[in-house]
Amino acid sequence: ELKVEQNPLFLSMQEGKNYTIYCNYSTTSDRLYWYRQDPGKSLESLFVLLSNGAVKQEGRLMASLDTKARLSTLHITAAVHDLSATYFCAAGPMDSNYQLIWGAGTKLIIKP
């Protein structure tokens, strides 16, 4: 059974600093997603990672996937206050075309 674990679950950091959120998953998966959720709002897709070694970047966020290590990372470069949100990763089980197993989310607070 696929399980997804994110860490840390809470992160408070200063603007301008770099940090990484980790997403580990327990069994083989062929797709990994990152989403952002602002308080009281819905989830917004950030990245779709479909192959080993995939790296995607958007602004100050960069996501990567290592399928051998069953690990995805979301790296934040020179954080700004606007990036404060909860970030979720989700992985797809091999035996389902639709199911996604979600991590618990990382609440990120960036202080000015």
- Which positions lie near other proteins, rule CB under 8 A? 4, 31, 33, 41-45, 48, 50, 88, 90, 92, 96-100, 102-105
Instruction: Give me the phi and psi of 83, to 5 degrees please.
Output: -85, 0
Closer to other proteins by Cβ: residue 15 or 38: 38
Instruction: Give me the phi and psi of 30, to 5 degrees please.
Output: -110, 10
Closer to other proteins by Cβ: residue 86 or 110: 86
For the CB of residue 77, give the shortest distance to other proteins in the complex, in Å. 23
What is the bridge-based pairing of β-strands 61-66 and 71-76? antiparallel
Interatomic CA distance for residues 7 and 11, integer angstroms = 9
Closer to other proteins by Cβ: residue 33 or 79: 33
